[in-house]
């Protein structure tokens, strides 16, 4: 089940539909064997490689799915990876790096008074 292309180990899993409670949460329910083989923990980031590549948060499988070689992901993650239910994807632990820059942009014009950068900085520091 485990392969190593380069230095990072990889596992192939069959795509299944996410359950309703997981839709929109950016999570992937990953087979327990794959979690162990890749040294993953719940909350880790994985790279999901289909026709394209995307990232999701690892969650343990549902009890009845464990050992089935499945990855349950929602429609948004499937679209980002370019795959459909029943396709196979390759997963591996994602490499996360600190952001060098973050750009915040409103969807529409917002009325505000004062220095927007100061307001945003103040709100972010008070989180």
**How is 89-108 classified by DSSP, letter by letter?**
EEEEEPP----S------SS
**What residue spans define the domains of the chain?**
2-93
Side-chain half-sphere CA neighbours of 96 within 13 A: 9
Q: What is the pLDDT along the chain (127 residues), one digit of tens a residue?
A: 556 556 788 999 999 999 999 999 999 999 999 999 999 999 999 999 999 999 999 999 999 999 999 999 999 999 999 999 999 999 999 988 888 988 877 788 877 667 777 877 888 887 6
Q: What is the pTM of this model?
A: 0.76
Q: What is the CATH number of domain 2-93?
A: 2.40.40.20
């Amino acid at each position: 089940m485990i392969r190593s292309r380069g230095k990072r180990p990889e596992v192939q899993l069959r795509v299944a539909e996410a359950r309703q409670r997981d839709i929109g949460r950016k999570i992937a329910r990953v087979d327990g064997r794959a979690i162990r083989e890749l040294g993953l923990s719940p909350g880790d980031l994985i790279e999901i490689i289909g026709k394209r590549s995307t990232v999701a948060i690892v969650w343990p499988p549902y009890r009845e799915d464990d050992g089935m070689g499945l990855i349950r992901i929602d429609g948004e993650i499937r679209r980002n990876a370019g795959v459909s239910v029943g396709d196979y994807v390759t997963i591996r632990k994602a490499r996360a790096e600190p952001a060098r820059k973050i750009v915040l942009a409103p969807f529409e014009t917002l009325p505000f008074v004062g220095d927007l950068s100061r307001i945003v900085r103040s709100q972010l520091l008070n989180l």
